[in-house]
Amino acid sequence: MQLPFHKYQGTGNDFIIFDDRRETFPVSRGLIARLCHRRFGIGADGLMLLQNHPDYDFRMVYFNADGNPSSMCGNGGRCLVKFARSLDVFETETVFLAVDGPHEARVGDGLVHLKMADVDQIQRKSAYDFLNTGSPHYVTFVDNVQATDVVGQGRTIRYSETFRPGGGTNVNFVERMKDSTLFVRTYERGVEDETYSCGTGVTACALAASYRELESPVRIKTIGGDLQVSFRKEGAQKFTDIYLIGPASKVFEGEITL
């Protein structure tokens, strides 16, 4: 069975995408993990299917690199929006369905503006903040993020007794730069490694930074490039009109035998 695929990246967070509007992709954990493998497959942080939906422009189906179905992926959502635009599924604005509900998005000026789910609860601890921006995120502020052992510390926190019973968590290390930009590095569950960028992660970091005198929009630097997060803060813990803003581009396309 031969299927065409497309490879996209959003600030270095890369994804394999299949146009699955006919729902012919043979979903299996082993196959998806093999396709995402960087030595024996195409190589990616995750795999997405673009499917039809009767009530929305399209449906986003996302899998982590380990082959398991995943919670929301912000950079993946931006890449899938760009892919859907290339198929003329919409012109400039769209509404699609993801695992955490509907999302609005628009494409313009070389950027994808993706509206994220509202956040109405943040657990604020002395050493970290914990919140769900479509995926669960641990956010801790550090003095030197470049010197941080992201994989070692991230894996320890991800599998700790605090978070393991709930399926684990993504772990973000954040440094506030002199120009108030946030430099974010993220250990992602499902990838089980540091990624070049994490959309739901930088969103979580921007919201956490609002308690540290940063106002919307928050500029964010990742290993893979620059992003922005805008939001409206209502009261002590509620955030609405959250937008993840950044570039997304096609890397290459091909055909693979499954």
Q: Mind telling me the catalytic residues?
A: 73, 198
Query: Distance between CA atoms of 250 and 186, rounded to whole angstroms?
Result: 23
Q: How far apart are CA 172 and CA 145, in angstroms?
A: 10
Amino acid at residue number 129: D
3-state DSSP assignment of residue 161: coil
- What CA–CA distance (Å, rounded) separates 253 from 158? 34
* Opening angle at CA 111, ends 50 and 37, nearest 5: 45
Strands 218-222 and 193-195: unpaired
Strands 238-246 and 2-10 come out as unpaired
Tell me the C-alpha to C-alpha distance, in Å, between residue 65 and each of 17, 72, 77.
Answer: 13, 14, 15
Amino acid type, 203: T
CA distance 51 to 20: 5
DSSP assignment of 204-222 = HHHHHHGGGT--SSEEEEE
* Residue (of 250, 227, 228) closest to 80 by Cα position: 250
Q: How far apart are CA 157 and CA 183, in angstroms?
A: 20
